[in-house]
Amino acid sequence: MIERLETLVLSLADDELIIGHRHAEWIGLGPILEEDIAFASIAQDETGHAQAYYQILTDLGLRTPDEYAFQRKASEFRCAHLVELPNFDYDYALALMRHYLYDAAEQIKLQALREGSYDPLAGLADRLLREEKYHWLHATTWIKRLAYSTEEAYLRLKSAIDQLWPYAWMLFEPLPEEAEIVEAGWIPPSSVLRERWLELIQPTLISANLFPPPPASETLLPLQGARKGLRSPYFDELLQEMTEVSSSEPGAEW
């Protein structure tokens, strides 16, 4: 039972940790000071969510949050490849679109967890939804603003969603032993969550002419396995950078 719970919690926690790290790469580089501060704060929130998820496992006698974040091998992570993607050439449209697609999914998952049967997760989801409200407001306000501003802004968003779409779709790749996890009542099946996610983002994306068709299965095939530990080609460099300080002085007090 505890292994399955760890599977579920790590899929949630690792997504948060890694997207927090990628968002944080924008610190000091944001388009204007005000947005730089807002986005950095969102990055910090996501990292905090990861810590709170890990703590649920720690309370069950498993590893500590720092051990989960900084002392695991790449193959032990369970994040989706969407959050591992680098910021490439630092196009803010890509950052905003990933933030939008990801936080839509996070919101759907949190709402489902809140109704779930595992009390520590349900209670945490209830708390995290408060912060998620702001993340969603921030993401949707930007996407709506940019989608209807200039042709350049539209084209940048279009190219961002085309690039991210298959990866976003795979946020809902079924977990290992998902049938048993669903049976326990912790969370509904990934396919159900994906439908809810599509319902949430569809109206905005369709009216902005930014809604792609479902990805072809041959596009998705090479993206499979993230929840079993298969990492994208971008992960090793990220992990090395993320653990650089902690590995310089293992066990240091902060």
Partner 1 sequence: MSSLDPRIRRAEPELWTLSTPPLDSLEHWPTYEVFVQRMRGGHAQHVGSLHAPNPEMALVLAKEQYARRSQCVALWVVPTEAILWTSPADEDLFQPAVDKSYREPQGYLNTRERLEKYRDRLQATSHD
What are the residues binding partner 1 (CB under 8 A)?
Answer: 25, 27-29, 32-35, 37-38, 41, 86-87, 90, 134, 137-138, 141-142, 145, 149-150, 241
Q: Smallest gap, in angstroms, from Cβ of residue 127 to partner 1?
A: 17
- What's the chain's Rg over C-alpha atoms? 18
Of 78 and 156, the one with the shorter C-beta distance to partner 1 is 156
Phi/psi region, residue 54 (left: phi>0; alpha: psi -120 to 50; beta: rest), is alpha
Which residues have CB under 8 Å from 142's CB, separation 6+? 96, 100
Of 127 and 145, the one with the shorter C-beta distance to partner 1 is 145
Instruction: Give burial (CB, 10 Å; 0-12/13-18/19+) of 81.
Output: buried
Of 41 and 219, the one with the shorter C-beta distance to partner 1 is 41
Of 29 and 179, the one with the shorter C-beta distance to partner 1 is 29
Q: Smallest gap, in angstroms, from Cβ of residue 79 to partner 1?
A: 19
Q: Smallest gap, in angstroms, from Cβ of residue 148 to partner 1?
A: 11
Of 71 and 87, the one with the shorter C-beta distance to partner 1 is 87
Q: Smallest gap, in angstroms, from Cβ of residue 96 to partner 1?
A: 12
Q: For residues 102 and 94, is the Cβ–Cβ distance under 8 A?
A: no
Q: Smallest gap, in angstroms, from Cβ of residue 134 to partner 1?
A: 6
Q: Which two tokens stand for residue 67?
A: 């051990």
- Measured distance CA(235)–CA(232) in Å, rounded: 6
Reference 11, options 177, 236, 218, 183; nearest CA is: 177
